[in-house]
Structure 1
Amino acid sequence: MGSTLRERVRRSVVERVPIDTAEQECITQFLELFDGLADPFDQTADPVHVTGSAIVTGPRGVVLLRHKRLGMWLQPGGHVDPGETPWAGALREAREETGLEVVFPTVDDEGVASLVHVDVHPGGRGHTHLDLRYLVDGGDADPSPPEGESQEIAWFDWSAAVERAGDERLSALLANLAGGTAGAA
C-alpha cells in the first residue's frame, strides 16, 4: 500500500483547489516536504509527517474542541497510525476525540473521502504536521469524549465556529465551507 498510498495522497494534494493564498502556500510547502520524506506517514521516521484532521459538521453546525496542550479551539485530528490512510486517521481521531459516530458524507469509487483543506503547521516536540483535512458528518448527538480527551467540546453554529477557531487558516476554511454548505459565515 505504501507507494500506492503515497501516490494517491500526492495526487489529491496536487488536485486540491485552494480556498486562498494561505492554503496555496501550504500546498506548495506540503509537496516540497512530502516528496523528500522516506515514509511521510510514520511519525517516528521523521519529525515532518502527515496527519489527518476532521471537520465535523451536522445539522447543529461544526464541532470544535479546546486542544488540551495548545489551549485553542480546533478540529479533531492527529497522527496517522501505522498502515492507516490519512482519511481513515481523520475519521478515527474524530471518533476518539468527540465520542460521535462520525462518517464521511461521500467517498469516491476507491472509498477515499474528499480532501477539503491542506495545512502545514508546527506540531509538538519540534514536529511539522502536513495536515490533510476531511469533511465528516457528525449527526446531531451531543459530543461525549472519553476520559483523557478534551472535555471542552461543543457544537457551534457556523458563524460562531469561524469566530471561535483558534487558527486563522481553520477560520478561513470554516468560512469557506459555511458559504458553500450552510449559507452563513
Structure 2
Amino acid sequence: MNWIETINNYIACNEQEEKDKELTLKCIDMFEDLLTRENKLVHLTSSAIVVNKSKDKVLMVYHNIYDSWSWAGGHTDGEEDLLFVAIKEVKEETGIKNVFPVRQDIISLDIIPVLGHTKKEEYISPHLHISVAYLLEADECEPLAVKIDENSGVKWIPMKEIDIYSSEPHMKKIYSKCLNKIL
C-alpha cells in the first residue's frame, strides 16, 4: 500500500482527525511535493509514540526548536514508507537500536502548525506539518543517546506525566488522544 492509500484508509477517531484528514487529502490533490521540504507551505512528517513493554512509559526527546519534551519523528524527505521514516527517526533521535511497530497502521493523523524558527543558522518560515504517527515499542533498558543537533535530552516518561513535561498545548492534545487509544 502506498503512502496516499495509507492516509486515505486511515479511520479518523474524532472530528479533529476527520477535518485534518480531509485537508490532507486536499493537499495531496493540490501538491506533488508533500513528501519533501521543497514544499515550503506544507509537507509530511512521520513520528512515533514509543512505549515500553508494560505500556506505562513513553520515550520522549527534549526538542531544541520547540523547547519542549516531544515524541521523536521527522520529515519524510521523499521517502514513501511512512512507518519506516518513524522507526528511522526514533533510532536517530533516541539512540535505541531495537524498536518495532506495535501495529502497522497509523495511530494519529494531525496537521501541526510550525512557527518560524532558525535551524542550522537558516530561518525557516512558518508552515504546516501533516503528521502521520505510529505506535512503536522499545526496551526501556536499552541505552539512550542525545542527537545534539536536534535534542538535548532523551528519557522514558511515565504516561501520566506527559502533560508535566510537554509545554506545547496543541501537542498535549495529540499525545492525550494517542495515549487514550493505547490504554
TM-score, structure 2 length as denominator? 0.79
**Stretches of 4+ aligned residues off by more than 6 angstroms:** none
Following TM superposition, by how much is the alpha carbon of 1:95 offset from its aligned partner in structure 2, in angstroms? 0.7
Alignment RMSD, CA only?
2.4
Structure 2: which amino acid aligns with 1:94? Answer: V
SS across alignment from 1:50: strand
More helix by share: 1
Distance 1:169 1:104 in 2: 27
Following TM superposition, by how much is the alpha carbon of 1:180 offset from its aligned partner in structure 2, in angstroms? 4.5
The number of aligned residues is 171
Following TM superposition, by how much is the alpha carbon of 1:97 offset from its aligned partner in structure 2, in angstroms? 0.6
Structure 1: which amino acid aligns with 2:155? Answer: A
What whole-Å deviation, never above 9, does each CA across 1:101-124 have from its counterpart, x for those lacking one?
2433346xxxxx311111112335
Distance 1:115 1:22 in 2: 15
After alignment, is 52-61 or 161-170 more displaced? 161-170
Following TM superposition, by how much is the alpha carbon of 1:171 offset from its aligned partner in structure 2, in angstroms? 2.9
Distance 2:180 2:78 in 1: 36
Following TM superposition, by how much is the alpha carbon of 1:133 offset from its aligned partner in structure 2, in angstroms? 0.6
Pick from 94, 110, 118: which aligns with 1:98?
94
Following TM superposition, by how much is the alpha carbon of 1:169 offset from its aligned partner in structure 2, in angstroms? 4.9
Distance 1:80 1:55 in 2: 17
1:120 pairs with 2:114: no
1:133 pairs with 2:133: yes
Matching residue of 1:18: 12
SS across alignment from 1:135: strand
1:76 pairs with 2:77: no
Distance 1:92 1:68 in 2: 19
Distance 1:169 1:24 in 2: 17
Structure 1: which amino acid aligns with 2:136? Answer: V
More strand by share: 2
Distance 1:28 1:168 in 2: 23
* Contact 2:102–2:137, Cα closer than 8 Å, also in 1: no
After alignment, is 87-96 or 20-29 more displaced? 20-29
- Structure 2 residue runs without a partner (length 5+): 117-123
After alignment, is 93-102 or 145-154 more displaced? 145-154
% same residue: 22
After alignment, is 137-146 or 50-59 more displaced? 137-146
SS across alignment from 2:28: helix
Following TM superposition, by how much is the alpha carbon of 1:85 offset from its aligned partner in structure 2, in angstroms? 2.2
Provide closer, same or farther for how the CA distance between residues 172 and 146 of structure 1 changes in structure 2, counting only shifts above 3 A.
closer
Distance 1:174 1:146 in 2: 22
SS across alignment from 2:155: strand
